[in-house]
Amino acid sequence: MRINSISNIDDKSNLRTTLNLVIRQVSDTTGEVTLGTGTTTVVTNPKISPQSFVLVQGKNATGNSAGAYVSSTGTGTFTITHVAGAAGRVVGFAVIGAA
């Protein structure tokens, strides 16, 4: 999705469209997930597109030591790969380039 610059402030339609796109880019683009006990956890989120960049960070000590990274993104989903471990490991995520 491309956000066009506003060249004419009096063009209300262009202004409205641009503002809506900006708001959509920054709203509801963060969250947290509890990692599974296996080596991958799939997260579904309608803001994800194949072009999205997703950052993950541990939210507790065990989540921080899980070695979590995003191994794939798709339409409405991304996969976090991590070491196998006990339940209760929590990571947060932020989406850049939301759909």
Count structural domains, the chain: 1
Q: What percent of the chain has pLDDT over 70?
A: 90
Q: Which domain holds residue 87?
A: 29-96
List of the chain residues with pLDDT < 70: 1-4, 24-27, 98-99
Q: What is the pLDDT of residues 42-63, one digit of tens each?
A: 999 988 999 999 999 999 999 9
Q: Please enumerate in sequence order all residues whose Cβ is within 8 A of that of 67, keeping only pairs 6 or more positions apart, or say none.
A: 82, 83
Q: Which whole-number Å values give the CA distances from 80 to 8, 10, 24, 45, 76, in the listed order?
A: 43, 45, 24, 13, 14
Position 6 in a domain: no
Position 70 in a domain: yes
Position 47 in a domain: yes
In angstroms and rounded to an integer, the radius of gyration of the C-alpha atoms of the chain is 17
Position 10 in a domain: no
Cα–Cα distance measured from residue 8 to residue 14, given in angstroms and rounded to the nearest whole number: 8
